[in-house]
Amino acid sequence: MIPAPAETTTSRRPRRRPEITVLRLLPRPSPLHRLWAGTKLLVVAALALMVSVRPTWPALGVAAAIVALGAVVAHVPRGAVPRLPRWIWMALALGAVLAAQSGTAPLTHVAGVELSLGGLGDWGLLTLLTVVLLAAALLVGWTTPLGEVAPALARLATPARWVRLPVDEWVVAVGLAIRCLPLLIDETRTLVAVRRVRRRRVTIRRSPVRTTLRMVGFEAHDLLATAVVAALRRARDLADAIEARGGIKATTGEASAPGMADLVVLGTIIVVVAATLLL
Amino acid sequence: MTATDRVQEGADRDGPRGTPRSWSGAAVTGLRGASVGPVPAARIPVPPWKAAAVAPNRSSESAPRRRGRLRADELAEAVVMADLTLALCLVGHLLPIASVLFAAAVVPMAAIVVRHRLRALLAGTVAACAVGFLIAGLGLLISLVVCAGLGAVVGWSTRRAWGVRKTVVVGTLVLWPPLAAVAVAGLAVLAELRRLTLVQITNSWRGASRILRHVGLGVVANVGDPIVRSATRDWWATIPLGLLVAAMVCLAVSWIIARPTLRRVQDALGPPRPDDPLDRLDDVEPSDPVPVELSGVAYRYPSGPLVLRDVSLRIDPGELVAVVGPNGSGKSTLASILVGRTPTGGTVTRPGGPGLGRRHGSAIVFQRPEAQVLGVRVRDDVVWGLNSATVDVDGILDQVGLRDLADRETSTLSGGELQRLAVGAALARAPRLLVSDESTSMVDPDGRHALIELLHEIPASGDVAVVHVTHRRAECTSADRVVALDAGRLVAPPGPPPVRSPTRPAAHPRGAPSLLTLRDVGHEYMRETPWAGRALTDVNLDLDAGEGLLVLGRNGSGKSTLAWILAGVLTPTEGTARLAGRPLERCVGQVGLAVQHARLQLLRSTAGADVAAAAGVDRAAAASALASVGLDPAVFAARRVDELSGGEMRRVALAGILAGRPQAIVLDEPFAGLDDPGRDALVELLVELRESAGITLVVVSHDDELPDGLVDRVVRLERGRMVEDSDADRPANRTGRR
């Protein structure tokens, strides 16, 4: 989201910085792109439900198979996969080491060190469940044109209308939130760049630690307040634009509706999930 | 039928001086006079969290109570704040110092509650959750819901000016029971998931205690063993207890972080505006906006100067009227009155209601291109708020010249294309009156010509009246009629504009060694992903000390990327960029960067404090820096940043850069949105800086009609390549180009 702060690499080729790859549509069209957005959201929800109720290896296998099939159909290239920050890998490694030392049966010995296969198995299951669910969400983001999300939600949220929840308002809000996110990301980037260019020559008196902490506090407040004020100013422009279009009105999603393919996919998924849960 | 708007003095409350743009009920306002807080921000050493405890909170009188559906300003603020929360949570997931960012992510949510109803928070939360789910699935969703809950409590406590203790107590009582109930119930139902998680915790601890015993810390392991055992066995008690502690800590931390920030936000923006009488008027009256006749119209912002006085004019169907005047002459206010704002003096007569944004009503196109697009795709934007079946989208896109782009995402369009799209969205409502409020001022020359041509064609295509508001006299030549405004009065239309010639670089004495050197610099965003985009290719550049360079290019030509590379905040993916022999990315701060959106550059609440903080200098140095950019320190040092006009913000930002004594300054679109006098004054200042202080200047712009003497060299970028260099014969460049 935000480029990593002042990072001076000594290697000749600069390391790839984490950049925002969220909410980007894969440019190459595929059958998964053509599926109704609502179908994809429902499938992800069904998979999440399934592995929450039955967090077992078979259920994980089924979910992983569905996600993998989707990735193949959608022609997801390797470069699309986000690079995780280093601390997550370190946390995962630590978890693995602790689990291996837990002494839970069955046990095995490698080079004189006792390893707990039971502990490692549980650790792997929990980790992989998280990974599979994240991959499923990413797959939806990669293959769904953002403009189709809000209309699909409008249709999916029909039951909420019966209990008189302000669904139309929310659908408009989702559409605008998707529209504004890139603008805010740009603004955040600029803010970070500005902060880096500003010089900080702090005259350290009394206690250096306290002064540093105080400056960090000041800076955090400065950045946060500026971000909020700039965003609210953007909201003023946005509100002007909304008023210029006659205010907030319900835009019904008549343009987006599930088709035959969606029914087939949903039916199959329901059968598979039900079978996994019952067997 | 005649609708006559009568005088309503003081019914309205709006924007900072000179920029009276927000007539829509949008909330962001600068309340001058009232906004000078009890703690003078000029004295630094009270840390913000202490200042918050000392200063009484004045925001309790904000947020007018409204009922029913959300209004445009409430929804807009909720959405933007929700996006900000989402962005902070995302970063929180990516960085190990996550907890601090989660606490910061509470602030935008709290800002919604401080300013608006809980209904707005609900809409914002739903929006953030939907987008968050698309980005990272369920994990992010939980963080967002927690942020919303904490934000609700902290926002409410800010409104009621509660202390930290009361906030924590009340917040815990409100948040903890449902949180604990949901967590325990969820784990009770999902028995297998619970078992797996608890086993995982037990295993981890066993592993840890074994390692601890190994390294001789058996004591810790012995103490921990029974705790973990009973905690996992009695999970139904442990989890609520843990949540209780977490809730209290989170509430306290959020309060400490949020309170001073919210105070500054409220100081900067003032409370939201009360309801606009415009809507109610409109609901009962069929729209019929032209012919419109203004007679003796005046407008005054509350506690502000009179921005319009005694304006009388008539707009008829089928004509193109140009309204011309410098910044602050009241022309934007006039535009807003034409589309329906009630003046504070005089009368406005129309056959029906103004019908802003309604079918056969009036429509308005604003200045900032990216700010008025509401749809994710071009096609969605045209039909936003309309029944898509009733609109001939392709016909409209054809008319505005965007036919091929119907399915493109709007975030990929250039400024000129976005403005034509805005006109298209206006045309989708078949308006009888179309007002363009400075729509050409932030667009590159090609985009500008296309836009003016389009506006010119519209009156002929039907009985539409078009009013084009501009500060460029050159744009008035094709109008049927020209109305000139100055200081809020109608004046005689000015003569033909002086012909500006393209910038001619002045000769620059050679001989000094190069200061900035770019060798084969290229940059690609998101490389090695399917979305890789090339911004720059093979750029070679040598800049001497004291040289002035203009980088010309259209929107999207890579010129902003070049500006960021020159400032050292972006490391190019190819080639080398050096400042006096050192890699630029290690010299951050030695090359000043003035970003296009000057507000983002001013982080402190007053101009003087910001200059001092930007350069790390004391008050006196900051004052002299302000003076050097032509702002009187006695007036401006204590002025709040949010009360400055656009031109003044740019000057303050420049003062902050200058006070840091940079070797070079990069200015990204420094003249966008400034009128001719404002631009000339800034140019004069920059020329003087170059000549007297010997500072290297790099001006990045899409405008090739800058006054002479500012630069002595011009390069042109096209699709990331340097296609033209007025200084191409220089030996250093030739070797660089090889």
Which of B362, B320, B322 has its CA nearest to residue B341? B362
In a domain, A11, yes or no: no
Query: What are the tens digits of pLDDT across the range B615-629?
Result: 888 889 999 999 888
> Measured between beta carbons, which residues in chain A are less than 8 angstroms from residue B136?
22, 134, 137-138
Residue of A nearest to B561 (CA): A190
In this prediction, residue A22 has a pLDDT band, given cuts at 50, 70 and 90, of low
> Residue B340 maps to which CATH number?
3.40.50.300
Query: What are the tens digits of pLDDT across the range B95-125?
Result: 656 566 778 899 999 999 998 999 999 999 9
Query: What are the tens digits of pLDDT across the range B689-733?
Result: 888 878 889 999 887 777 677 888 889 998 889 887 876 655 444
Beta carbons of A247 and B357 less than 8 Å apart: yes
Q: Is the predicted pLDDT of residue B52 greater than 60, yes or no? A: no
Domains: count for chain A? 2
Q: Is the predicted pLDDT of residue B62 greater than 50, yes or no? A: no
Give the pLDDT of residue B44.
Answer: 37
- Least trusted range by pLDDT, from A118-132, B3-17, B71-85: B3-17
A164: left (phi over 0), alpha (psi -120 to 50) or beta: left
Give the pLDDT of residue B510.
Answer: 52
Interface list for B 569-628 with A (CB within 8 A): 569-571, 573, 585-586, 588-589, 591-593, 595, 597, 599-605, 613-617
d(CA B101, CA B91) in angstroms, rounded, equals 7
Q: Are residues A234 and A160 in the same domain?
A: yes
Q: Are residues B361 and B424 in the same domain?
A: yes
In a domain, A240, yes or no: yes
> Measured between beta carbons, which residues in chain B are less than 8 angstroms from residue A25?
409
Tell me the CA end-to-end span of chain B in Å, nearest whole number: 75
Q: Are residues A56 and A133 in the same domain?
A: yes
A61, two tokens:
């296998």
Of all residues in chain A, the percent with pLDDT exceeding 70 is 83
Q: Are residues B545 and B646 in the same domain?
A: yes
Q: Is the predicted pLDDT of residue A204 greater than 50, yes or no? A: no
Q: Are residues A59 and A197 in the same domain?
A: no
Distance from CA of A36 to the nearest CA of B (A): 14
Domains: count for chain B? 3
Q: Are residues B265 and B281 in the same domain?
A: no
Output DSSP code: residue B726. Answer: T
CB A248 within 8 A of CB B77: no
**Residue B56 or B622, more confident:** B622
d(CA B28, CA A232) in angstroms, rounded, equals 7
Query: Which residues constitute the domain of residue A209?
Result: 145-248
Give the side-chain half-sphere CA count within 13 A for A2: 27
Task: Give the pairing type, strands B481-486 and B489-491.
Answer: antiparallel
> Which residues is B350 bridged to in the sheet?
B3
When scoring A178, A221, A249 by the number of chain B Cβ atoms within 10 A, the one with the most, hence best to mutate, is A221
∠ Cα A84 A86 A91 (to 5°): 100
Q: Are residues A208 and A121 in the same domain?
A: no
Q: How many CB atoms lie within 10 A of CB B173?
A: 11
Q: Is the predicted pLDDT of residue A123 greater than 50, yes or no? A: yes
Give the pLDDT of residue B91.
Answer: 75
In this prediction, residue B277 has a pLDDT band, given cuts at 50, 70 and 90, of very low
Give the pLDDT of residue B45.
Answer: 42
The secondary structure element, H or E, covering residue B362 is strand B362-365
Residue of B nearest to A5 (CA): B569
Q: Are residues A266 and A134 in the same domain?
A: yes
The torsion angles phi and psi of A189, rounded to 5 degrees, stand at: -60, -50
Q: Are residues B261 and B322 in the same domain?
A: no
Task: Give the pairing type, strands B465-470 and B433-437.
Answer: parallel
Specify the 3-state DSSP secondary structure of B91.
helix
CB B470 within 8 A of CB B476: yes
Query: What are the tens digits of pLDDT across the range B534-589?
Result: 889 999 988 888 888 999 888 778 888 999 999 988 889 999 999 888 888 888 88
Give the pLDDT of residue B38.
Answer: 38
Q: Is the predicted pLDDT of residue B359 greater than 80, yes or no? A: yes
Q: Are residues B473 and B617 in the same domain?
A: no
When scoring B131, B195, B373, B588 by the number of chain A Cβ atoms within 10 A, the one with the most, hence best to mutate, is B131
d(CA A66, CA B132) in angstroms, rounded, equals 22
Q: Are residues B352 and B442 in the same domain?
A: yes
The secondary structure element, H or E, covering residue B544 is strand B533-544
d(CA B339, CA B334) in angstroms, rounded, equals 9
Cβ neighbours of residue B50 under 8 Å, at least 6 residues apart?
none
When scoring A2, A86, A243 by the number of chain B Cβ atoms within 10 A, the one with the most, hence best to mutate, is A243
Distance from CA of A252 to the nearest CA of B (A): 8
In a domain, A79, yes or no: yes
A180, two tokens:
């504004």
Q: Is the predicted pLDDT of residue A253 greater than 50, yes or no? A: no
Q: Are residues B264 and B283 in the same domain?
A: no
Give the pLDDT of residue A199.
Answer: 63
Beta carbons of A147 and B409 less than 8 Å apart: yes
**Residue B241 or B449, more confident:** B241
Q: Are residues B416 and B325 in the same domain?
A: yes
Residue of B nearest to A166 (CA): B69
In a domain, A265, yes or no: yes
∠ Cα A249 A255 A261 (to 5°): 145
Query: Which residues constitute the domain of residue B615?
Result: 514-737
When scoring B31, B80, B519 by the number of chain A Cβ atoms within 10 A, the one with the most, hence best to mutate, is B80
Give the pLDDT of residue B284.
Answer: 57
In a domain, A9, yes or no: no
Supply the DSSP string of B420-436, one letter for each residue: HHHHHHHHTT--SEEEE
Cis peptide before B289 (omega within 30 of 0): no
Place of tokens 């295993």: B203
Residues in chain B: 738
In this prediction, residue B5 has a pLDDT band, given cuts at 50, 70 and 90, of very low
Q: Are residues B322 and B347 in the same domain?
A: yes
In a domain, B125, yes or no: yes
Place of tokens 């500005």: A194
Give the pLDDT of residue B33.
Answer: 34
Q: Are residues B69 and B129 in the same domain?
A: yes
3-state secondary structure chain A: CCCCCCCCCCCCCCCCCCCCCCCCCCCCCCHHHHCCHHHHHHHHHHHHHHHHHCCCHHHHHHHHHHHHHHHHHCCCCHHHCCCCCHHHHHHHHHHHHHHHCCCCCCEEEECCEEEEHHHHHHHHHHHHHHHHHHHHHHHHHHHCCHHHHHHHHHHHCHHHHHCCCCHHHHHHHHHHHHHHHHHHHHHHHHHHHHHHHCCCCCCCCCCHHHHHHHHHHHHHHHHHHHHHHHHHHHHHHHHHHHHHCCCCCCCCCCCCCCCHHHHHHHHHHHHHHHHHHHC
Give the pLDDT of residue B728.
Answer: 60
Average the pLDDT over B125-138 and give the result: 88
Beta carbons of A229 and B564 less than 8 Å apart: no
A198, A243, A254 ranked by CB distance to B614: nearest: A198
Distance from CA of B499 to the nearest CA of A (A): 34
**Residue B548 or B303, more confident:** B548
Q: How many CB atoms lie within 10 A of CB B7?
A: 13
Q: Are residues A269 and A172 in the same domain?
A: no
- Least trusted range by pLDDT, from A198-207, A214-223, B86-95: A198-207
Query: What are the tens digits of pLDDT across the range A66-83?
Result: 999 999 999 999 888 887
CB A245 within 8 A of CB B362: no
The secondary structure element, H or E, covering residue B243 is helix B235-269
d(CA B108, CA B104) in angstroms, rounded, equals 8
> Measured between beta carbons, which residues in chain A are less than 8 angstroms from residue B642?
229
Q: Are residues B258 and B286 in the same domain?
A: no
A15, two tokens:
């390391």
Q: Is the predicted pLDDT of residue A261 greater than 70, yes or no? A: yes
In this prediction, residue A251 has a pLDDT band, given cuts at 50, 70 and 90, of low
> Measured between beta carbons, which residues in chain B are less than 8 angstroms from residue A252?
387
d(CA B306, CA B329) in angstroms, rounded, equals 11
Give the pLDDT of residue B82.
Answer: 95
The torsion angles phi and psi of B507, rounded to 5 degrees, stand at: -70, 145
Output DSSP code: residue B250. Answer: H
d(CA B629, CA B99) in angstroms, rounded, equals 41
∠ Cα B112 B116 B122 (to 5°): 65
A178, A222, A236 ranked by CB distance to B604: nearest: A222
> Measured between beta carbons, which residues in chain B are less than 8 angstroms from residue A75?
none
**Average pLDDT of chain B to the nearest whole number:** 81
Query: What are the tens digits of pLDDT across the range B406-420?
Result: 888 888 788 888 998
In a domain, A15, yes or no: no
Q: Are residues B577 and B622 in the same domain?
A: yes
**Average pLDDT of chain A to the nearest whole number:** 82
d(CA B363, CA B430) in angstroms, rounded, equals 9
Give the pLDDT of residue A255.
Answer: 60
Q: Are residues A65 and A80 in the same domain?
A: yes
3-state secondary structure B585-629: HHCECCEEEECCCHHHHCCCCEHHHHHHHHHCCCHHHHHHHHHHC
Which amino acid is located at A126 in the chain?
L
Which of B723, B726, B662 has its CA nearest to residue B696? B662
Q: Is the predicted pLDDT of residue B523 greater than 80, yes or no? A: yes
CB B519 within 8 A of CB B576: yes
Beta carbons of B135 and A6 less than 8 Å apart: no
Place of tokens 């840890």: B208
In a domain, A152, yes or no: yes
pTM of the predicted structure, to 2 decimals:
0.84
Residues in chain A: 279
d(CA B73, CA B60) in angstroms, rounded, equals 19
Query: What are the tens digits of pLDDT across the range B664-684?
Result: 999 998 887 777 777 888 888
Query: What are the tens digits of pLDDT across the range B633-645?
Result: 998 888 888 778 7
Beta carbons of A244 and B366 less than 8 Å apart: yes
In a domain, B595, yes or no: yes
Average the pLDDT over B466-489 and give the result: 86
In this prediction, residue A265 has a pLDDT band, given cuts at 50, 70 and 90, of very high
Give the pLDDT of residue A148.
Answer: 84
Give the pLDDT of residue B12.
Answer: 36
Residue of B nearest to A16 (CA): B527
Q: Are residues A83 and A154 in the same domain?
A: no
> Measured between beta carbons, which residues in chain B are less than 8 angstroms from residue A14?
571, 573
Place of tokens 């204590």: B638
In a domain, A111, yes or no: yes
In a domain, B662, yes or no: yes
Q: Are residues A169 and A239 in the same domain?
A: yes
Specify the 3-state DSSP secondary structure of B140.
helix
Beta carbons of A246 and B358 less than 8 Å apart: yes
d(CA B674, CA B664) in angstroms, rounded, equals 23
In a domain, B14, yes or no: no
Of all residues in chain B, the percent with pLDDT exceeding 70 is 83
